[in-house]
Amino acid sequence: MRTRRLGVLGVAAGVLVIAAGTAGLLIGCSSPASHGTVSAPTHDIVRTPAAQPTQTAVRPGVLQSSYQAPGAPGAGSVAMPVSLTIPAIGVKAKVISLGLASNGSLNTVPLDGQPQALDDVGWYTGSSRPGAIGPAVLAGHINYNGAGVFENLDQLHVGDLIYVTRADGSSVPFRVTQLQSTLKTDFPTGGVYDATPDAELRVITCGGTFDYATGHYLSNTIVYATEA
């Protein structure tokens, strides 16, 4: 059980540690809340073709598109994500859009400081839209003065299903292929953001040891998934 303490949001803090040696936004946390079983989405599950990825360099520690340039053919042919369902850990959450802050880190302000932020997930708009070729990157709180949407993310297993519902009513399934806990100083920028030959998903939050001296978690929990 996690005791009450301060924490940080996964992607923002992880990337800032790499880029600038600092640790991102402080948030609060508490003991995990219990989650009930959540059914899979009832929408039609479809696969949507997308443009082939264009390889571009990724500057370490900075979030930026690595699969295709904005405006490239097919880049916007897949509808925006609006909700996320992970039945195995009882997650059913609204998805909001997150861009970049002026320093090149993920701008998590829309997820911070509001009670409902605990239940929301942020999709990085510089990454793929879920179901399009490339990695779609989602981030959420592990806690924030209460249990966050990804409090139990580290309890997922290889083979578990994740569903992303999109603005056109379609739902795309992803199957977990890997779980990773990594120090923020060793954040795997390339593995998370580099181009992929198919539609993939990255789901990120904080984890690992909590450092009371700095008020931050030292690690990130990263879930990798591929379109099922």
If one compares 44 and 3, the residue with the highest pLDDT of the two is 44
Residue among 56, 68, 190 nearest 126 (CA):
68
Q: Where are the domains of the chain?
A: 8-30+79-227
Confidence of residue 211 (pLDDT cuts 50, 70, 90): confident
Confidence of residue 57 (pLDDT cuts 50, 70, 90): very low
The lowest-confidence range among 12-26, 151-165, 193-207 is 12-26
CB neighbours of 193 closer than 8 A, spacing ≥ 6?
58, 63, 64, 66, 127, 135, 137
Residue 132 pLDDT > 70: yes
Tell me the mean pLDDT in the region 197-201: 95
Q: Side chain identity at 45, as an amino acid letter? A: I
Tell me the mean pLDDT in the region 15-29: 28
If one compares 74 and 92, the residue with the highest pLDDT of the two is 92
Alpha helix segments (H runs only) across the chain? 10-20, 189-193
pLDDT of residue 200: 96
If one compares 192 and 65, the residue with the highest pLDDT of the two is 192
CATH class, 8-30+79-227 region = mainly beta
CB neighbours of 185 closer than 8 A, spacing ≥ 6?
17, 18
Phi, psi (deg, nearest 5) at residue 135? -85, 125
Q: Are 204 and 137 in contact (CB under 8 A)?
A: yes
Tell me the mean pLDDT in the region 131-159: 91
